[in-house]
């Protein structure tokens, strides 16, 4: 299965990684530890492809993404349904690849594959 993506910022992420899908928006300040890269106290984001609808919270979130990158615990890529300013700025300053799902309805399909290895090729996510 292939799902269309639009590259928004950061370097392009060609490669594979474990997909983690959060059905709910993330608050970077409250949900992610920028030193350890731990999401919601249990998931290590390092090298994973993160997908969630959008981010919520203050502009400090941009610096949390930067902290993940600086501490070597950043995700391989972030996939969103809706781009928000703090994620966009965080992606730009950290270099974390940021993608927008071309069709928001694909988010539900994507959530079925959380925990599996998926690949980003050009502007598609490939699930086999």
Residues marked active site are found at 58
DSSP state letters, 97-108: -EEEESSTTHHH
Q: Check: CB of residue 40 under 8 Å from CB of residue 31.
A: yes
Q: Check: CB of residue 11 under 8 Å from CB of residue 113.
A: no
Q: Check: CB of residue 65 under 8 Å from CB of residue 96.
A: yes
| 3-class SS of residue 124 | strand
| 3-class SS of residue 92 | helix
């Amino acid at each position: 299965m292939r799902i269309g993506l639009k590259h928004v910022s950061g370097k392009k992420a060609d490669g594979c990684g474990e997909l983690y899908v959060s059905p709910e928006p993330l608050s970077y300040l409250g949900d992610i530890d920028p030193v350890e890269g731990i999401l919601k106290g249990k998931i290590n984001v390092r090298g994973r492809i993160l997908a969630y609808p959008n981010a919520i919270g203050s502009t400090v979130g941009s610096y949390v993404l930067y902290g993940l990158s600086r501490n070597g615990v950043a995700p391989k890529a972030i996939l969103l349904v809706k781009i928000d300013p703090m994620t966009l700025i965080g992606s730009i300053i950290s270099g974390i690849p940021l993608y927008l799902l071309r069709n928001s309805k694909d988010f539900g399909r994507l959530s079925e594959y959380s925990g599996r290895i998926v690949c980003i090729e050009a502007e598609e996510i490939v699930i086999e």
